[in-house]
């Protein structure tokens, strides 16, 4: 079963959207395998955004993600990485479709509420960066037989 990393960024936490985000993934039928709220250290922020380290906005990303608590989650399900990207919506909330998290709640690209892994390989890296193995739970949901053949 595929897993992905989802993070509700500081603006999503501050705007009390944590429950709304969780509800959207649950209603889709995905299974929560890990959940924690934390203050992001400078080191963790820099590792998470290291792909952008040579870009002019890197410092702003790190400063923002360390400014307030975030909620990190691991979701599980068939095709969860691609489906999550659709639930989240385009990076720029102004072009995100209505019905997506960013389309419904986002205002600007710099405050777009949520991060989601963009590929299975990146999901594996991000999960390993944000969670210890013992923080993740494998479990069988009663509805699994109604979701998967």
Report, as residue numbers or ranges, the catalytic residues: 115
Q: Which of 72, 85, 73, 88 is nearest to 31 (CA)?
A: 73
Q: How many CA atoms lie within 13 A of 91 on its CB side?
A: 3
Question: E strand or H helix at 23, and its extent?
Answer: helix 18-28
Q: Which residues of 72-102 are buried (b: 16+ CB within 10 A; e: fewer)?
A: bbbbbbeebbebbbebbbbeebeebeeebbb
Q: Which of 139, 123, 145 is nearest to 48 (CA)?
A: 123
Kind of pairing between the strands at 114-116 and 31-38: unpaired
């Amino acid at each position: 079963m595929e897993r992905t990393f989802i993070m509700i960024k500081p603006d999503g936490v501050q705007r009390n959207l944590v429950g709304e985000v969780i509800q959207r993934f649950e209603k889709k039928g995905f299974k929560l395998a890990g959940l924690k709220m934390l203050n992001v250290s400078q080191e963790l922020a820099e590792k998470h955004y290291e792909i952008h380290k040579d870009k002019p906005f890197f410092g702003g990303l790190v400063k923002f993600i360390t400014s307030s608590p975030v909620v990190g989650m691991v979701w599980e399900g068939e095709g969860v990485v691609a489906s999550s990207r659709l639930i989240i919506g385009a990076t720029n909330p102004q072009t995100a479709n209505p019905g997506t998290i960013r389309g419904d709640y986002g205002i600007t690209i710099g405050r777009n509420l949520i991060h989601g892994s963009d590929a299975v390989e990146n999901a594996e890296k991000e999960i390993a960066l944000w969670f210890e193995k013992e923080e993740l739970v494998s479990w069988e949901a009663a509805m699994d037989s109604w979701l998967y053949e």
